[in-house]
């Protein structure tokens, strides 16, 4: 039985229901404001920083935020539930809890650096050294939210979060002259550190001076506390896994640029997600302090959550696309589908939030623990498979499936609780049966020990299962040749089988680094003709099944024909078309469309071609986009950014055509001029005409 602790002092006149309403409204208003400011933060970074830097920073920040949640070890919900009745022990419990969480933040950060996908995330020793400190700061920052709720002043956490949102936005805008991912990360982290130090100071003072925490503690037996702690840690770990792993899946499966689109969109969605679950915190704290009012408080919480969920869903549908447009048209185009799916699964998430509140009040968390485990599996597995074909929208489908499954399981017990408290039944927390308590302890300890290792294994798996065969981001001084370990040249003229006008050279005037992390392949007038470059990985790198992708900005103009494509490594033995050819992206002249193609031989050695064209606005090629090909047994899929533009299957070939695409192929990048397809160059053809390559990556399944 949890006793009612008499109140006196400055907040004694606040009834439980009024305090719940005040704290809830403050949290909702703050979360909505910080959500908008968070979107503004990513919109500003999208405008001021290159997409690849935004994508890398978002992956680092998301990883740190979710590791920080895991580092709280479930102490956050323990404080939320039991600080209201901790009495004189509150200051000591707070101090020990923050020390423990800070230490765990460092340990989990170090673990990710050592075991996680180091190459995609950490570009320097400084980044690796600083990441554990970032997790420490964000772990303390997160714990303060629940401590504020436990001390009856959740509205103070709302102020802290709002101040941080404004400060990090101002910082990133002021420091944008250094357009690197570290600028974004430091703007987020250093402002959080300042806000955390100040908030801890005022909360520590309240725990020492307020009359409620000068009384004797009324805590439950330690056995029940440990059971609650174990379940809470398991729930926190499971809740963290999906959001932590998903951005890493997006980075490794779809690319950094796609993760930039995902991060900006998900910032809006996650703010609303957080809002739903934060509404529960003041409810738990008030019921702990006023168990005699559990019925009234429960119904108020349900009504509030229902309104918040429906308004959040409507906001995503109506205002979401407009807000995404602030970051740029590409962000709106790529993220809108994810917003629509989130509008469906956010109300479903409200069911889980309601049940979580009831379960914590009763201190019966086993069902919620196993539901979170099931959701983590569905989210990770669903995102892994769905992003391969649907891009970042696949994450939305995974979350929709997980939340629907959770709602179906939990809505019955939630309704039963409401009926019982309405009927006036005693809902005082009761200890579970001893067998159930032992099972809960064992499962909690196993989860607490196993989940960090499993988590890091899952983080690493995308890189391990999709082993990086080649990655070149073309860092080097301006004018330098591309890395000879990766690239060679095809040289000469003669039309190249298409009556082309250019002569390919290995001169830096035609292919060189620009000093800003790009390779520039340039076609130039040379008398009555053109010179250009055709780079290949022939003899240096080839692959059979896996993914090849390049982030490109391509030229347009009369007679221009830039391309990213693949040829079979046996072309010297069997000739073309028996070697096979895969055209990942080609544009011609005015760039009215993106062309994909697969060329192979029929049984008589004559060429056949499978092709797909995507109409585009010509200005599309003026900005960077990621063009990719995914090669699986009997299937070749091509696309741009998160969109699939062509799928070619062996099963679809007519009789007499041979499938030759399940063997080693190498990469080619070139800018051709003239020929039978694009037509001749003329006086309007730009010179120089440059294809700019940000990076090239090849992974093997």
What mean pLDDT is predicted for residues 357-373?
Answer: 80
Select from 339, 348, 464 the least CA-distant residue to 392. 339
Express each pLDDT in 162-197 by its tens digit. Answer: 888 889 889 888 887 777 778 888 898 999 999 999
Question: Taking the chain, what is the end-to-end CA distance rounded to the nearest angstrom?
Answer: 57
Task: Clarify whether residues 458 and 504 are in a common domain.
Answer: no
On the question of pLDDT at 423 being above 80, the answer is no
Q: What is the mean pLDDT of the chain?
A: 81
On the question of pLDDT at 271 being above 50, the answer is yes
What is the rounded distance in angstroms from the CA atom of residue 134 to the CA atom of residue 68? 9
pLDDT at 465: 37
What mean pLDDT is predicted for residues 405-418?
Answer: 88
Task: Clarify whether residues 396 and 325 are in a common domain.
Answer: yes
Which stretch, 89-103, 316-330, 568-582, has highest mean pLDDT?
Answer: 568-582
Is 120 inside any structural domain?
Answer: yes
Cα-to-chain-centroid distance, residue 231: 26
Is 1 inside any structural domain?
Answer: no
Looking at 465, 495, 528, the residue that finishes a domain is 465
Express each pLDDT in 531-564 by its tens digit. Answer: 999 999 999 999 999 999 999 999 999 999 999 9
Express each pLDDT in 305-318 by its tens digit. Answer: 888 888 888 888 88
Is 115 inside any structural domain?
Answer: yes
What is the rounded distance in angstroms from the CA atom of residue 492 to the CA atom of residue 426? 88
Could you tell me which residue, 392 or 456, shows the higher pLDDT? 392
Show the tokens assigned to 533.
Answer: 């470059």
Is 595 inside any structural domain?
Answer: yes
On the question of pLDDT at 502 being above 60, the answer is yes
On the question of pLDDT at 457 being above 60, the answer is no
Residues in the chain: 701
pLDDT at 3: 37
Show the tokens assigned to 509.
Answer: 């005037």
Task: Clarify whether residues 375 and 426 are in a common domain.
Answer: yes
On the question of pLDDT at 606 being above 60, the answer is yes
Task: Clarify whether residues 420 and 504 are in a common domain.
Answer: no
Q: Which domain holds residue 375?
A: 16-465
Show the tokens assigned to 330.
Answer: 């590409």
Cα-to-chain-centroid distance, residue 156: 29
The tokens 């599309």 sit on which residue? 620
| Tally of structural domains, the chain | 2
Is 5 inside any structural domain?
Answer: no
The tokens 């309403």 sit on which residue? 21
Select from 91, 90, 364, 95 the least CA-distant residue to 218. 90
Question: Do residues 248 and 461 make contact, with C-beta atoms less than 8 angstroms apart?
Answer: no
What is the rounded distance in angstroms from the CA atom of residue 581 to the CA atom of residue 516? 32
pTM over 0.85: no
What 3-state DSSP class applies to 324? Answer: helix
Question: Do residues 686 and 623 make contact, with C-beta atoms less than 8 angstroms apart?
Answer: no
Q: How confident is the model at residue 454 (pLDDT cuts 50, 70, 90)?
A: very low
Question: Do residues 368 and 417 make contact, with C-beta atoms less than 8 angstroms apart?
Answer: no
Phi and psi at 500, nearest 5°, equal: -75, 155
Question: Do residues 567 and 540 make contact, with C-beta atoms less than 8 angstroms apart?
Answer: no
What is the rounded distance in angstroms from the CA atom of residue 664 to the CA atom of residue 567? 9
Is 32 inside any structural domain?
Answer: yes
Task: Clarify whether residues 560 and 656 are in a common domain.
Answer: yes
Could you tell me which residue, 262 or 630, shows the higher pLDDT? 630
What mean pLDDT is predicted for residues 405-425?
Answer: 83
Q: Tell me the three-class secondary structure of 569-585, residue by residue.
A: CCHHHHCCCCCCEEEEE
What is the rounded distance in angstroms from the CA atom of residue 315 to the CA atom of residue 320? 6
On the question of pLDDT at 473 being above 90, the answer is no
Which stretch, 215-224, 422-431, 592-601, has highest mean pLDDT?
Answer: 592-601
CATH code for position 615: 2.60.120.200
Task: Clarify whether residues 103 and 204 are in a common domain.
Answer: yes
What mean pLDDT is predicted for residues 612-628?
Answer: 91
- Give the whole-number percent of the chain exceeding pLDDT 70: 81
Task: Clarify whether residues 224 and 242 are in a common domain.
Answer: yes
What is the rounded distance in angstroms from the CA atom of residue 323 to the CA atom of residue 316? 9
On the question of pLDDT at 529 being above 80, the answer is yes
Is 564 inside any structural domain?
Answer: yes
Question: Do residues 44 and 253 make contact, with C-beta atoms less than 8 angstroms apart?
Answer: no
Q: In this structure, is the dihedral angle defined by the CA atoms of residues 135, 137, 142 and 147, taken in order, positive or negative?
A: positive
On the question of pLDDT at 6 being above 50, the answer is no
Express each pLDDT in 371-383 by its tens digit. Answer: 888 888 888 888 8
- Measured CA to CA in angstroms, residue 44 lies from 51, 264, 575 at distances of 12, 10, 51
Task: Clarify whether residues 454 and 323 are in a common domain.
Answer: yes
Is 6 inside any structural domain?
Answer: no
Q: In this structure, is the dihedral angle defined by the CA atoms of residues 222, 223, 228 and 229, taken in order, positive or negative?
A: positive
What 3-state DSSP class applies to 199? Answer: helix
pLDDT at 462: 35
- Window from 87-96, 187-196, 218-227 with minimum mean pLDDT: 218-227
Select from 570, 591, 595, 586 the least CA-distant residue to 661. 570
Q: How confident is the model at residue 4 (pLDDT cuts 50, 70, 90)?
A: very low
On the question of pLDDT at 8 being above 70, the answer is no
Looking at 465, 490, 512, the residue that finishes a domain is 465
Phi and psi at 508, nearest 5°, equal: -60, -20
Select from 173, 137, 139 the least CA-distant residue to 45. 173
Task: Clarify whether residues 450 and 513 are in a common domain.
Answer: no
What 3-state DSSP class applies to 195? Answer: helix
Q: How confident is the model at residue 568 (pLDDT cuts 50, 70, 90)?
A: very high
Return the ∠ at Cα 179 (arms to 177 and 183), rounded to 5°.
Answer: 90
- Measured CA to CA in angstroms, residue 486 lies from 19, 147, 374, 552 at distances of 65, 54, 44, 17
Express each pLDDT in 272-289 by its tens digit. Answer: 777 777 777 777 777 776
Looking at 465, 494, 519, the residue that finishes a domain is 465
What mean pLDDT is predicted for residues 497-525?
Answer: 93
Q: Which residues are identified as catalytic?
A: 581, 586
Express each pLDDT in 121-141 by its tens digit. Answer: 665 666 778 889 999 999 999
On the question of pLDDT at 458 being above 50, the answer is no
Query: What is the DSSP pairing of strand 502-504 with strand 529-532?
Result: parallel
Task: Clarify whether residues 448 and 512 are in a common domain.
Answer: no
On the question of pLDDT at 303 being above 80, the answer is yes
Could you tell me which residue, 530 or 228, shows the higher pLDDT? 530
On the question of pLDDT at 486 being above 90, the answer is yes
What is the rounded distance in angstroms from the CA atom of residue 422 to the CA atom of residue 670? 73
What 3-state DSSP class applies to 488? Answer: strand
Task: Clarify whether residues 78 and 186 are in a common domain.
Answer: yes
- The alpha carbon torsion through 571, 572, 578, 581 (nearest 10 deg) reads 20
Helix 51-71 and helix 16-48, axial crossing angle in degrees, nearest 10:
150
Show the tokens assigned to 461.
Answer: 């798996």
Task: Clarify whether residues 455 and 501 are in a common domain.
Answer: no
DSSP 491-550: -B-S-TTTT--EEE---TTTEEE-SSS-EEEEEEEETTEEEE-EEE-TTT--BSSEEEEE
pLDDT at 506: 94
What is the rounded distance in angstroms from the CA atom of residue 564 to the CA atom of residue 585? 5
Q: How many CA atoms lie within 13 A of 247 on its CB side?
A: 31
On the question of pLDDT at 390 being above 90, the answer is no
Q: How confident is the model at residue 257 (pLDDT cuts 50, 70, 90)?
A: low
What is the rounded distance in angstroms from the CA atom of residue 127 to the CA atom of residue 541? 30
pLDDT at 22: 65
What mean pLDDT is predicted for residues 502-524?
Answer: 94
What 3-state DSSP class applies to 682? Answer: coil
pLDDT at 253: 67
Q: How confident is the model at residue 582 (pLDDT cuts 50, 70, 90)?
A: very high
């Amino acid at each position: 039985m949890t006793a009612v602790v008499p109140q006196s002092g400055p907040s004694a006149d606040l009834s439980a229901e009024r305090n719940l309403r005040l704290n809830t409204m403050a949290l909702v208003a703050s979360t909505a404001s910080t959500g908008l400011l968070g979107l503004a933060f990513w919109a500003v970074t999208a405008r001021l920083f290159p997409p690849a830097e935004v994508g890398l920073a978002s992956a680092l920040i998301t990883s740190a935020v979710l590791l920080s949640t895991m580092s709280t070890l479930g102490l956050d919900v323990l404080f939320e539930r039991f600080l209201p009745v901790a009495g004189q022990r509150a200051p000591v419990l707070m101090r020990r809890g923050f020390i423990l969480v800070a230490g765990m933040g460092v340990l989990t950060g170090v673990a990710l650096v050592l075991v996680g996908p180091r190459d995609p995330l950490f570009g320097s020793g400084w980044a690796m050294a600083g990441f554990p400190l970032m997790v420490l700061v964000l772990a303390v920052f997160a714990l303060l939210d629940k401590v504020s709720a436990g001390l009856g002043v959740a509205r103070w956490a709302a102020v802290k979060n709002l101040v941080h949102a404004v400060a990090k936005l101002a910082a990133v805008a002021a420091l944008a002259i250094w357009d690197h991912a570290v600028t974004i990360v430091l703007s987020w982290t250093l402002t959080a550190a300042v806000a955390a130090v100040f908030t801890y100071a005022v909360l520590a003072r309240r725990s020492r001076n307020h009359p409620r925490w000068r009384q004797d503690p009324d805590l439950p037996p330690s056995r029940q506390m440990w059971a609650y702690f174990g379940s809470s840690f398991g729930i926190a770990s499971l809740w963290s896994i999906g959001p932590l792993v998903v951005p890493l899946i997006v980075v490794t499966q779809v690319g950094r640029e796609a993760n930039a689109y995902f991060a900006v969109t998900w910032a809006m969605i996650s703010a609303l997600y957080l809002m739903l679950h934060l509404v529960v915190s003041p409810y738990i704290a008030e019921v702990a302090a006023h168990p005699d009012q559990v019925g009234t408080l429960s119904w108020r919480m349900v009504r509030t959550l229902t309104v918040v969920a429906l308004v959040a869903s409507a906001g995503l549908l109506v205002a979401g696309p407009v807000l995404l447009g602030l970051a740029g048209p590409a962000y709106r185009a790529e993220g809108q589908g994810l917003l629509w799916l989130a509008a469906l699964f956010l109300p479903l998430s409200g069911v889980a939030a309601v049940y979580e509140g009831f379960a914590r009040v009763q201190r019966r968390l086993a069902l919620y623990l196993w539901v979170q485990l099931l959701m983590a599996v569905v989210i990770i597995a669903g995102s892994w498979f769905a992003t391969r074909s649907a891009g970042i929208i696949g994450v939305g489908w995974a979350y929709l499936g997980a939340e629907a499954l959770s709602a179906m399981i939990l809505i019955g017990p939630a309704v039963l609780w409401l009926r019982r408290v309405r009927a006036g039944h005693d809902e005082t927390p009761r200890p579970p049966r001893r067998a159930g308590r032992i099972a809960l302890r064992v499962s909690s300890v196993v989860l607490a020990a196993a989940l960090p290792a499993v988590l890091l294994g899952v983080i690493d798996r995308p890189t391990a299962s999709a082993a990086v065969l080649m990655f070149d981001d073309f860092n080097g001084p301006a004018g330098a040749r591309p890395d000879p370990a990766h690239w060679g040249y095809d040289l000469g003229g003669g039309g190249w089988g298409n009556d082309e006008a250019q002569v390919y050279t290995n001169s830096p005037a035609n292919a060189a680094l620009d000093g800003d992390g790009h390779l520039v392949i340039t076609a130039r007038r040379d008398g009555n003709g053109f010179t250009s470059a055709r780079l290949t990985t022939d003899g240096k790198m080839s692959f059979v099944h896996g993914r090849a992708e390049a982030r490109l900005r391509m030229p347009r103009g009369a007679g221009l024909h830039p391309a990213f494509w693949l040829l079979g490594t046996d072309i010297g033995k069997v000739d073309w078309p028996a070697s096979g050819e895969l055209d990942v992206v080609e544009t011609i002249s005015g760039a009215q469309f993106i062309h994909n193609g697969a060329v192979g031989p029929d049984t008589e050695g004559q060429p056949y071609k499978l092709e797909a064209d995507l109409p585009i606005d010509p200005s599309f090629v003026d900005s960077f986009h990621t063009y990719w090909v995914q090669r699986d047994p009997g299937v070749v899929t091509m696309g741009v950014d998160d969109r699939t533009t062509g799928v070619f299957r062996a099963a679809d070939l007519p009789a007499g055509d041979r499938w030759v695409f399940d063997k080693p192929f190498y990469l080619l990048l070139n800018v051709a001029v003239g020929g039978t397809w694009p037509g001749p160059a003329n006086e309007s053809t730009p010179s120089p005409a440059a294809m700019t390559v940000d990076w090239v990556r090849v992974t093997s399944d």
